[in-house]
């Protein structure tokens, strides 16, 4: 069991480059393929947003400007990909047959037009995992359309890359457990990582627990999979459960945190805050999430 196909929605930012590093590091571990996709804005989607009172000429100019800006952005992303691949020990492959012949990590790139959240969510269903860039500093995490589209509409795990490329991933793994279907899905999706890890720790807290099996239940489940994990209770930091969870993962020296996402509704977390939101905004390690 391994992650053979990885999808990376690529941006032209420094966070996008860090995600490239994270995705390639993951691919080298599993001898898998990374497909980078950049979604350009389709100028035809601009016309319905133009509103009434604009002439046909004005709408056409708006569409042309959108097309130019989208093309420039796509060129920058393509250049980032080309620079990244150059000089690295990775094979560019466009088919499963070519990847099999390479017998190593492979990578590819495509630029397509459309609505990013729709295309990325739909394409993710054909991959074992998606890697997404960390939101840029100062960016509201709620605006990360690709991340949330995959979480809510793909049925696949999402690996959120840290802002800085990690030195390693998956050797010391923490799993957050609160008894929910989301945390259960995250641990099931993380089983390949857990089998490979040198050490596994299950983090739990009475402030994090929801209705469902307690930590003893998930430890028993993992033992059936021949995985021995250490249970460790964590505590909120200044009333923030998410801060306590991240602090416990850092104390362990974790290079991967696995957790369920949005066991409370996303709207509630956007308004009141929540563990998922805190981790997305503040994690400095790779985080694999499922919903």
The structural domains of the chain, ordered by start, are 5-159 (3.40.50.620), 166-290 (3.40.50.620)
Q: pLDDT at position 87, please?
A: 77
Distance CA(21)–CA(149), nearest Å, equals 22
Average pLDDT, whole number, for the chain? 87
pLDDT digits (tens, 9 = 90+) for 170-212: 999 999 999 999 999 999 999 999 999 999 999 999 999 999 9
3-class state of residue 61 by DSSP: helix
In this model, does residue 284 exceed pLDDT 90? yes
Place of tokens 């259960």: 184
Q: pLDDT confidence of 94, banded at 50, 70, 90?
A: confident
For 2-6, 101-105, 267-271, which range has the lowest pLDDT when averaged over its residues? 267-271
Question: Where in 41-182 does DSSP place strands (E)?
Answer: 91-92, 106-113, 129-132, 158-160, 172-176
Residue 15 has phi, psi (to 5 degrees) of: -65, -35
Place of tokens 């033992």: 223
3-class state of residue 273 by DSSP: coil
Q: pLDDT at position 115, please?
A: 86
Q: pLDDT at position 260, please?
A: 95
**Per-position DSSP letters for 189-253, written without gaps between them:** HTHHHHHH-SEEEEEE-TTT--SS--HHHHHHHHHHTT---EEEE---BTTBHHHHHHHHHHHTT
Q: Is the pTM of this model over 0.75?
A: yes
The residue ranking higher by pLDDT, 248 or 69, is: 248
In this model, does residue 283 exceed pLDDT 90? yes
CB 155 within 8 A of CB 121: no
Closest CA to 132 of 12, 9, 17, 35: 9
In this model, does residue 57 exceed pLDDT 90? no
Contacts of 64 (CB under 8 A, 6+ apart): 43
Name the most confidently modeled range: 1-5, 140-144, 273-277.
Answer: 1-5
Distance CA(149)–CA(155), nearest Å, equals 10
Q: pLDDT at position 271, please?
A: 40
pLDDT digits (tens, 9 = 90+) for 129-182: 999 998 764 554 434 788 889 998 999 999 999 999 999 999 999 999 999 999
């Amino acid at each position: 069991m391994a992650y053979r196909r990885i999808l990376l929605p690529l941006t032209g930012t420094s966070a996008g480059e860090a995600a490239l590093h994270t995705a390639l590091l993951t691919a080298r571990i599993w001898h898998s393929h990374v497909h980078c996709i950049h979604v350009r804005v389709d100028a035809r989607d601009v016309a319905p947003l133009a509103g009434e009172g604009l002439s046909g000429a004005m709408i056409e100019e708006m569409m042309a400007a959108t097309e130019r800006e989208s093309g420039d952005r796509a060129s920058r992303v393509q250049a980032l990909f080309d620079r990244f691949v150059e000089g690295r020990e990775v094979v560019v492959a466009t088919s499963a047959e070519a990847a099999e012949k390479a017998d190593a990590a492979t990578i590819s790139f495509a630029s397509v037009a459309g609505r990013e959240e729709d295309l990325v969510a739909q394409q993710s269903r054909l991959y074992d995992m998606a890697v997404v860039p960390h939101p840029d500093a100062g960016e509201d995490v709620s605006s990360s359309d690709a991340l949330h589209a995959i979480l809510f509409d793909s049925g696949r795990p999402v690996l959120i890359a840290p802002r800085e490329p990690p030195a390693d991933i998956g050797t010391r793994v923490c799993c957050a457990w609160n008894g929910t279907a989301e945390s259960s899905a995250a641990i099931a999706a993380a089983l390949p990582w857990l089998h490979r890890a040198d050490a596994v720790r299950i983090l739990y807290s009475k402030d994090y627990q929801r209705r469902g099996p307690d930590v003893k239940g998930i430890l028993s489940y993992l033992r059936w999979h021949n995985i021995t994990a250490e249970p460790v209770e964590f505590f909120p930091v200044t009333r923030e459960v998410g801060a306590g969870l991240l602090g416990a993962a850092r104390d362990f020296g974790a290079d991967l945190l696995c957790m369920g996402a949005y066991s409370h509704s996303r709207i509630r977390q956007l308004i009141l805050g929540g563990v998922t939101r805190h981790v997305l905004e503040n994690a400095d390690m790779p985080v694999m999430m499922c919903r």
